[in-house]
Amino acid sequence: MDKLLIHGGARLDGETTVSGAKNAALPILCAALLSAEPVTLTNVPQLQDIATLLRLLGQMGVAVERDADRVTLDASKLDNPLAPYEMVKTMRASILVLGPLMARVGEARVSLPGGCAIGARPVDQHLKGLQAMGAKVAVEHGYIHATVAGGLRGARLFTDMVTVTGTENLMMAACLAKGETVIENAAREPEVVDLANCLVAMGARISGAGTDVIRIHGVERLHGAEHRIMPDRIETGTYLCAAAATGGSIRLTGTSTAYIDAVVDKLLDAGCDIDSERDAIRLTAPARLSAVSIRTAPYPAFPTDMQAQFMAINCVAEGTAVIRETIFENRFMHAVELQRLGAEIRIDGNTAVVTGVDRLEGASVMATDLRASAGLIIAGLVADGETLVDRIYHLDRGYEKLGEKLSQLGARVSRVR
Ligand code: UD1
């Protein structure tokens, strides 16, 4: 199993390019199931999760052509609406095939995702919404089996909590339903908007994406389209944090500060200078950051996917920070690993109190999930000596060419077996 070896202490300095957003690409690839015409996507990141989803779509009968960041999907011969356990267990986002399959063929068999390292993560809201649209849903032998006779019907949907993939699944299902669907308490994440933009390009009638009430007027069919995936705001934030922690100065291209206001705000509070260009961001960090407290919440508030990275920068900042995680119940697994590097962190339920120390010391640490791994890498970049991060397959799921990009920025990192 690959590990990442980091020689800490190098100040990040240089330029790299941010890839397309994983969390926009995943639902948008699934949106191709809604049409019998080819959908072409560009700026698709080359990641493990994307490869898994393309394999899953291929098994369903979708013809997939891929050339670097360009992917064309042709779902005209879709004939096997099944997402098997072996795939769903490696990537929970596979649940995103459920809505499109119900809309297009009126049947889906999708494995229940089960738990994951960061919590229970049920999909009850996805199912409740589909049932309100007329679907019959049974859970048998660990599989969701959903069917609808005569097609989905538009409905007024209300989710009990803000759910990103839940909103995306229901929005896709509603595109081909009869009549109007209104999703209340919808997720406002930019990735939901990117998906809506692609669906509109395919002929869907959607308004309100980006607000908490989305209206979808069902149409007979969707046609083919070409769409460019938005930049990855979490990858953007992660490199900004890495530079900030090392007292560095970097420029990120292919991205912008749009959609990361909450993160930029906190980096400014920590003492960084940030210049926003049209398609680039420049960050210059002070020699030592000030501690910044954060509370995760749905967009536009501070993203849970940036929590681990901010815990890492607070480990070496001046002062004490309070970190509150309100989205996932078990998302502090990185804290004990950071403690192995010498961090001072106290956990009480969903709150972590981090007191900055003068220096961290390199050690072997274990990645537990995608974003936790990013936090460990940032800590390794500032720690004295060598840090060996085990289980970096988590990172391969969500960060394109991580080692290469960090090296471009002057970090001393290498992959070891
Ligand atoms: C998406 C993102 C993930 C991010 C998360 C929160 C993708 C592929 N993944 O995950 O990176 O961390 O949003 O911003 O876009 N919940 C239920 N029942 C449901 C659905 C959700 O109880 O049916 C709960 C979850 O357990 C969690 C909260 O709602 O506590 C939010 O989860 P949700 O927004 O659905 O996360 P994902 O869409 O899975």
Complete DSSP assignment for 335-403? HHHHHHTT-EEEEETTEEEEE--S--B--EEE--SHHHHHHHHHHHHHSBSEEEEE-THHHHHH-TTHH
Structure tokens at 267: 């980096």
The closest residue, in CA terms, to atom 13 on ligand 1 is 164
The whole-angstrom separation of Cα 49 and Cα 44 is 11
Ligand 1 mean position, distance from CA 165 (Å): 6
Q: Is the CB of 23 under 6 A from ligand 1?
A: yes
Please give the Cα distance from 272 to 409 (Å, whole number): 17
Cβ–ligand 1 distance for 48 under 6 Å, the answer: no
State both tokens at 228: 């460019």
Q: Is 19 in the pocket of ligand 1 (CB under 6 A)?
A: no
C-alpha distances (whole Å) from 127 to each of 51, 102, 107, 361 are 26, 11, 13, 47
Tokens 């509603």 correspond to what residue?
A: 174
Ligand 1 center from residue 52 Cα (angstroms): 19
Amino acid code (one letter) for 226: E
The response to whether residue 26 sits with its C-beta less than 6 Å from ligand 1 reads yes
- Nearest CA to 66 among 55, 77, 76? 55
Ligand 1 and 328: CB distance under 6 A: yes
The pLDDT score that the predictor gives to residue 114 is 63
State in Å: Cα 4 to ligand 1 middle: 28
Nearest of 86, 54, 60, 381 to residue 244 by alpha carbon? 381
Omega of the bond prior to 100 within 30 degrees of 0, cis? no
Q: What amino acid is encoded at 5 in this protein?
A: L
Measured from the Cα of 163, ligand 1's closest atom is 34
- Distance, CA of 284 to chain centre: 26
Q: Ligand 1: which of 121, 326, 373 to mutate, judged by most atoms within 8 Å of the beta carbon?
A: 121
pLDDT value of residue 119 = 56
Q: How far apart are CA 54 and CA 47, in angstroms?
A: 11
Ligand 1 nearest-atom number relative to CA 121: 26
DSSP state of 35: B
Minimum CA distance residue for ligand 1 atom 8: 23
Contact assessment for residue 414 and residue 387, using Cβ atoms and an 8 Å cutoff: no
Pocket test of ligand 1: the residue of 163, 212, 263, 294 to mutate, having most ligand atoms within 8 Å of its CB, is: 163
How far apart CA 279 and CA 234 sit, in angstroms, is 16
**pLDDT value for 115:** 55
| Three-state SS sequence of 61-96 | CCEEEEECCEEEEECCCCCCCEECHHHHCCCHHHHH
pTM of the shown model: 0.97
Of 88, 124, 164, 172, the one to substitute when testing ligand 1's pocket (max ligand atoms within 8 A of C-beta) is 164
C-alpha 162 to ligand 1 mean position (Å): 8
Instruction: Please tell me the distance from the alpha carbon of residue 135 to that of residue 221, in angstroms, as a whole number.
Output: 19
Residues 6+ apart with CB under 8 A from 244: 267, 270, 272, 283, 285, 289, 313
Below-50 pLDDT ranges, the chain: none
Q: Choose among 96, 15, 88: nearest CA to 281.
A: 15
94 lines ligand 1 (CB under 6 A): no
Protein residue whose Cα sits closest to atom 3 of ligand 1: 305
User: How many angstroms is it from 163 CA to the middle of ligand 1?
Assistant: 5
Active-site residue set: 116
Instruction: State whether the beta carbon of 163 lies less than 6 angstroms from ligand 1.
Output: yes
